[in-house]
């Protein structure tokens, strides 16, 4: 078993589900998902033992091992945990110290990672650990602090947002999935693997991250965001929910064995059946992907529940709509793949095919919006997408994933003149329609994030100077 390294840094990317929103919840359908170059970073360091808090029966000092998790870009974003080994194979459960707000994604990820490590590692002694979480700037809308000089204090990649994490507006890039993936991977690699073994252990890290992410969000999701965080851009078909439904909670009898079987894919009754193809899928030459933050955000889980309820109550109508979307999505993916494989044939005429498929996707999504009563493409987003689609060099765009008021995604020609045209539109952009769901778009801002096909990777520590 490899010896744990003293410091380990890992990052995982955000995602854009260009097509397949809601469809990826069903194994009959697929989603085309692109990894982004915006990443969540996690650095794990071994700490010295904490101070003595009690005496053992023999009278000697008993040292308390702790795990301190910090997100230094935000105010008071510090979580300190002790941990206990549960009886009857219940795994390792972390217990937050103090009365501060809890972070279920951090807490669950640490518990799941330590449970797995404890089960497979030679040493059951974790020692004390320091965990630092850093987010590339585009995961959150700008604040007055991040716009100012403080943003450049330690270099431009990581801004000081100057607000509590609870007040930060997410831009919808998949921060929770990237966080869970990077956090469980950093802990597992730190304790049980060599950094250069990442390729061989990627499937296990995927399985562990899926289990932790589903537990943290309280339901078994489609998992496309975690898969992208691990593997990068791909065509995704979800796993069967039964794989994770029997894992149970940390602390329940036999939890560590059930988690181990899930991570190692050792349960013949429920083998992993995730399908990811076209790993590292690239955009065609001459095309770029950009995202536009509308500084609003949406609550994806509640939207998903409502859409699924509508589909259940209107099965025949929904199935026709789902099939139409799947057919159009597959044509879009195949055309993108064809253009990427034959870059010399790319012309404006061929990009017009992509534009047509994106428009058709939006038509189906607006139908889903109207029928389900869920703001997948609400009126203010329709207005914005229509306006940007008129700009010379914009191929087309959609509200990605589950939709709502998250950042929109645009495919544009890789022409230096397009970005200034977009910025000119956004400079004084104001919505003129009354939204059918009461949503409002704030300041529209072009994010710096771009397409990036790479998934989970280890990182060099120098870029975090000043933050650790």
> Tell me, what's the pLDDT at 437?
85
CA 215 to chain centre: 15
Could you give the percent of the chain with pLDDT greater than 70?
89
Whole-angstrom Cα distance, residue 171 to residue 291? 9
- Residue scoring higher pLDDT (415 or 155): 415
Residues 6+ apart with CB under 8 A from 307: 22, 368, 372, 374, 376
Report whether 333 contacts 327 (CB < 8 A). no
Whole-angstrom Cα distance, residue 234 to residue 213? 19
> Tell me, what's the pLDDT at 300?
66
Beta bridge partners of 128: 47
Does the pLDDT value for residue 3 go beyond 80? no
> E strands within 48-164?
52-55, 61-63, 67-70, 78-85, 92-96, 128-135
Kindly report, residue by residue over 88-139, the tens digit of the pLDDT: 999 999 999 988 889 999 999 999 999 999 999 877 788 899 999 999 988 8
Kindly report, residue by residue over 13-65, the tens digit of the pLDDT: 999 999 999 999 999 999 999 999 999 999 999 987 545 444 444 344 456 88
Please measure the distance between the N-terminal and C-terminal CA atoms of the chain and give it in whole angstroms. Answer: 28
Kindly report, residue by residue over 327-369, the tens digit of the pLDDT: 999 999 999 999 988 877 666 667 999 999 999 999 999 999 9
Q: What is the mean pLDDT of residues 161-187?
A: 92
How many CB atoms are closer than 10 A to CB 295?
Answer: 16
pTM of structure: 0.89
Parallel, antiparallel or unpaired: strands 67-70 and 128-135 = parallel
- Residue scoring higher pLDDT (26 or 144): 26
Kindly report, residue by residue over 398-411, the tens digit of the pLDDT: 999 888 888 899 99
Dump the DSSP string for 175-230. HHHHHHHHHHHHHHHHHH--GGGHHHHHHHHHHHHHHHHHHHHTS----HHHHHHH
Q: Is the dihedral of CA 240, 234, 39, 128 positive or negative?
A: positive
Mean of pLDDT over the chain: 88
Report the range of poorest mean pLDDT among 148-152, 203-207, 239-243: 148-152
- Residue scoring higher pLDDT (146 or 129): 129
- Residue scoring higher pLDDT (71 or 279): 71
Whole-angstrom Cα distance, residue 353 to residue 16? 20
Q: What is the mean pLDDT of residues 190-218?
A: 85
Backbone angles phi, psi at 40, to 5 degrees: -100, 130
Which residue, 436, 426, 24, 81, is CA-closest to 238?
24
pLDDT band at residue 196, thresholds of 50, 70 and 90? low
Does the pLDDT value for residue 377 go beyond 90? yes
Report the range of poorest mean pLDDT among 34-43, 104-113, 378-387, 426-435: 426-435
Q: Which long-range contacts (CB under 8 A, 24 or more apart) does 162-169 make?
A: 162/75, 163/74, 163/75, 164/74, 164/75, 164/76, 164/77, 165/71, 165/74, 165/77, 165/103, 166/101, 168/74, 168/140, 168/141, 168/143, 169/140, 169/141, 169/295, 169/296, 169/297
Alpha-carbon dihedral 316, 317, 319, 324, rounded to 10 degrees: 150
């Amino acid at each position: 078993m490899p010896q744990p390294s003293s410091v380990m840094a890992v990052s995982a990317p955000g995602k854009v589900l260009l097509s397949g929103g809601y469809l990826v919840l069903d194994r009959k359908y697929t989603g085309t998902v692109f990894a982004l170059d915006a990443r969540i970073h996690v650095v794990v360091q071994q700490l010295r033992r904490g101070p003595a808090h009690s005496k053992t029966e023999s009278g000697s000092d008993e040292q308390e091992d702790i795990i301190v998790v910090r997100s230094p870009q935000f105010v008071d974003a510090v979580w300190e945990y002790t941990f206990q080994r549960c009886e009857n194979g219940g795994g390792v459960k972390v217990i937050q110290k103090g009365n501060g707000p809890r972070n279920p994604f951090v807490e669950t990820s640490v518990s799941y990672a330590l449970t797995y490590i404890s089960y497979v590692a030679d040493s059951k002694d974790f020692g004390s650990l320091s965990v630092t979480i850093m987010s590339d700037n585009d995961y959150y809308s700008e604040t007055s602090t991040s716009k100012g000089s403080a943003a450049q204090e330690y270099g431009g990649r990581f801004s000081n947002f100057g607000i509590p994490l609870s007040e930060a507006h997410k831009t919808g890039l998949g921060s929770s999935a990237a966080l869970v993936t990077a956090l469980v991977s950093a802990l597992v690699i730190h304790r049980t693997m060599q950094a250069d073994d990442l390729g061989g252990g990627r499937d296990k890290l995927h399985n562990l991250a899926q289990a932790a992410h589903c537990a943290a969000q309280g339901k078994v999701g489609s998992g496309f965001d975690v898969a992208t965080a691990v593997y990068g851009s791909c065509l995704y078909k979800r796993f069967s929910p039964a794989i994770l439904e029997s894992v149970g909670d940390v602390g329940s009898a036999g939890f560590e064995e059930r988690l181990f079987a899930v991570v190692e894919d050792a349960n013949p009754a429920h083998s992993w059946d995730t399908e990811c193809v076209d790993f590292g899928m690239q955009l065609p030459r001459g095309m770029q992907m950009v995202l536009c933050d509308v500084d609003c955000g949406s609550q994806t889980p509640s939207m998903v529940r409502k859409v699924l309820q509508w589909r259940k109550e209107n099965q025949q109508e929904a199935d026709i709509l789902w099939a139409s979307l799947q057919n159009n999505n597959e044509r879009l993916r195949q055309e993108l793949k064809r253009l990427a494989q034959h870059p010399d044939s790319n012309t404006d005429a061929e990009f017009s095919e992509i534009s047509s498929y994106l428009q058709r996707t939006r038509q189906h999504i607006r139908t889903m919006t109207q029928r389900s009563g869920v703001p997948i493409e609400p009126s203010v987003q329709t207005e914005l997408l229509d306006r940007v689609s008129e700009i010379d060099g914009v191929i087309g765009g959609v509200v990605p994933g589950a939709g709502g008021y998250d950042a929109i995604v645009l495919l544009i020609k890789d022409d230096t003149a397009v970005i200034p045209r977009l910025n000119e539109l956004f400079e004084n952009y104001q919505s003129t329609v009354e939204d059918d769901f009461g949503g409002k778009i704030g300041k529209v801002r072009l994010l710096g994030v771009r397409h990036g096909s790479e998934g989970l990777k280890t990182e060099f520590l120098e870029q975090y100077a000043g933050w650790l």
